Amino acid sequence: GAGVSQTPSNKVTEKGKYVELRCDPISGHTALYWYRQSLGQGPEFLIYFQGTGAADDSGLPNDRFFAVRPEGSVSTLKIQRTERGDSAVYLCASSQGQTETQYFGPGTRLLVL
């Protein structure tokens, strides 16, 4: 399909490990967003890219979290020294422009043991 895809769909890791989560946006979409959805909560904004640059990273909880989008398409969310509290569904969304509708991927379910 032509929707937003995220890999892996599920990731189980141990406390202290490093993880990378990948997002493939809809082709041609210039804006890309990462959100985190904890159990029983709505999605929480993490970071927003316009093209290759992070236009707003104010939602990243701390410096263990980092995201890149080197070619303005695929993005990777990186989490260092994972903690049990990082367990959540990480959602990616893309939009054609800054004010356009966001289309969400199915998410990556991260479980930190």
The footprint of another protein (CB under 8 A) covers 4, 31, 33, 35, 40-45, 48, 55-56, 59, 91, 93, 95, 98-107
Q: Which is nearer to another protein, 14 or 58 (CB)?
A: 58
Q: Output 13 or 102, the one with its CB closest to another protein.
A: 102
Nearest approach, Cβ of residue 16 and another protein (Å)? 28
Rounded to whole angstroms, the Cα distance separating 23 from 48 reads 13
The DSSP bridge pattern shows strands 10-13 and 5-7 to be unpaired
The nearest distance, CB 15 to another protein, in angstroms, is: 25
Contacts of 87 (CB under 8 A, 6+ apart): 38, 110, 111, 112
Cα separation, 79 vs 102, in Å, equals: 24
The distance of closest approach from Cβ of residue 83 to another protein in the complex, given in angstroms and rounded to an integer, is 21
